[in-house]
C-alpha cells in the first residue's frame, strides 16, 4: 500500500481525548439536536409526502455514509507504517441502533403506503427510544477516535430529531395503532438479528457476534436484561426482551400524547382568554 493511502487511513483515525458524559463534546451535540428539532418542527409543520421523503433521504443516507466510515475505521489498524486488516464482527451493522438506517430506506422507497407507515411508526417510537437512551448516557459509545465520536453522536442524535419531528408534524399519528405498526417492523428486525446470530455462530467465526444482544450463545450485556438472561430459560428471556422494548416504545408514544394534550389545552386557554 502506498504512502498516500496510509496517510489517508491515518487521517481517518485521528484521535482526541475520550469524551465523557456531558462534556463539552456531548453537550455540543445536544445543542445541535435541539436546534435541528426546532428547525424541522417550525419550518415543516404540515409537510407533504414529497417533503417528508426528502427529509428522510437526508437522514437515511447521512446515517449510511457515517456507518460506512465506521465499518472501515474499525476494520484496520496501522502498526509501524503497515496497515493490518481485521474486521471486527461485533460492529456488524445490525445492532438495534443500526436499524433506523434500514427503516429509513423502507420509508423512502416503499411502494405500498401500509409498509411506509409501519417504517415511519418504528422511527417515531422504537428509534426515538434508542436515540434518547444513548444521547442521555453515551459513556459506552465514546472512544478516542474523533470521527467515530462524531459518527455516534450524529447517528443517535438524528434518530431523536427525526422521530420527534415525525410525531410533532403528525406524519405519524399519536395513537395505539402506531405501536402495533412499529412492533411489526421491530419483530422483523429482531427475527433477522436472531437468524444472523445463529448463522455466524454456526459458521464458526471466532469472535463474539451478538446482534441485538439476543444471541443464544453469548451473554446479553444490556443493563437489567443481562441479569434476566442468566436467570430464566432463553425463550422467556427473548419474550421479556421483546415486551420490554415494546413497553418503552409505548412510553415514548404515551409521552407524545401527553405533550400533544398539553399543547391543545394551552391553545384552548389562549382562545378562551381572548
Strands 76-79 and 82-85: antiparallel
- The answer to whether 44 and 51 are in contact (CB under 8 A) is yes
> What is the Cα–Cα distance from 242 to 237, expressed in whole angstroms?
9
The count of other CB atoms within 10 Å of the CB of residue 220 is 19
Digit-coded pLDDT (tens) for 89-133: 999 999 999 999 999 999 999 999 999 999 999 999 999 999 999
Backbone angles phi, psi at 143, to 5 degrees: -135, -170
Q: Which residues contact 208 (CB under 8 A, 6 or more apart)?
A: 89, 90, 218
pTM of the entire predicted model: 0.94
Binned at pLDDT 50, 70 and 90, residue 1 comes out as low
Confidence (pLDDT) at 271: 45
Q: Which residues contact 172 (CB under 8 A, 6 or more apart)?
A: 117, 120, 121, 123, 124, 166, 178
In the chain, where the domains are located: 3-273
Instruction: Write down the residue that cell numbers 453515551 correspond to.
Output: 138
Residue 272's pLDDT is: 45
Cα distance between the two ends of the chain: 74
pLDDT of 268 strictly over 80: no
Q: Per residue in 54-81, pLDDT tens?
A: 999 999 999 999 999 999 999 999 888 8
H/E element, 8: helix 3-12
Compare 219 and 261 and report the one with higher pLDDT: 219
Amino acid at each position: 500500500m502506498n504512502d498516500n493511502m496510509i496517510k489517508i487511513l491515518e487521517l481517518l483515525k485521528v484521535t482526541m481525548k475520550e469524551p465523557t458524559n456531558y462534556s463539552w463534546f456531548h453537550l455540543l451535540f445536544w445543542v445541535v439536536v435541539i436546534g435541528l428539532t426546532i428547525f424541522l418542527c417550525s419550518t415543516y409543520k404540515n409537510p407533504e409526502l414529497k417533503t417528508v421523503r426528502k427529509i428522510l433521504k437526508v437522514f437515511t443516507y447521512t446515517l449510511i455514509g457515517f456507518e460506512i466510515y465506521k465499518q472501515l475505521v474499525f476494520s484496520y489498524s496501522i502498526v509501524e507504517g503497515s496497515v493490518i486488516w481485521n474486521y471486527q464482527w461485533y460492529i456488524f451493522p445490525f445492532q438495534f441502533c443500526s436499524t433506523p438506517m434500514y427503516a429509513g430506506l423502507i420509508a423512502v422507497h416503499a411502494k405500498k403506503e401500509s409498509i411506509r407507515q409501519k417504517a415511519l411508526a418504528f422511527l417515531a417510537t422504537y428509534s426515538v427510544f434508542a436515540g434518547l437512551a444513548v444521547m442521555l448516557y453515551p459513556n459506552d459509545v465514546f472512544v478516542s477516535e474523533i470521527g467515530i465520536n462524531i459518527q455516534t453522536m450524529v447517528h443517535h442524535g438524528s434518530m431523536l430529531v427525526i422521530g420527534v419531528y415525525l410525531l410533532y408534524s403528525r406524519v405519524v399519528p399519536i395513537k395505539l395503532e402506531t405501536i402495533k405498526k412499529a412492533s411489526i417492523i421491530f419483530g422483523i428486525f429482531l427475527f433477522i438479528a436472531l437468524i444472523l446470530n445463529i448463522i455466524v455462530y454456526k459458521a464458526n467465526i471466532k469472535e463474539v457476534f451478538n446482534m441485538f444482544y439476543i444471541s443464544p450463545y453469548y451473554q446479553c450485556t444490556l443493563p437489567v436484561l443481562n441479569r434476566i438472561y442468566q436467570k430464566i430459560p432463553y425463550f422467556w428471556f427473548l419474550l421479556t426482551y421483546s415486551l420490554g422494548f415494546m413497553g418503552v416504545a409505548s412510553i415514548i408514544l404515551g409521552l407524545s400524547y401527553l405533550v400533544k394534550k398539553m399543547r391543545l389545552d394551552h391553545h384552548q386557554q389562549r382562545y378562551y382568554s381572548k
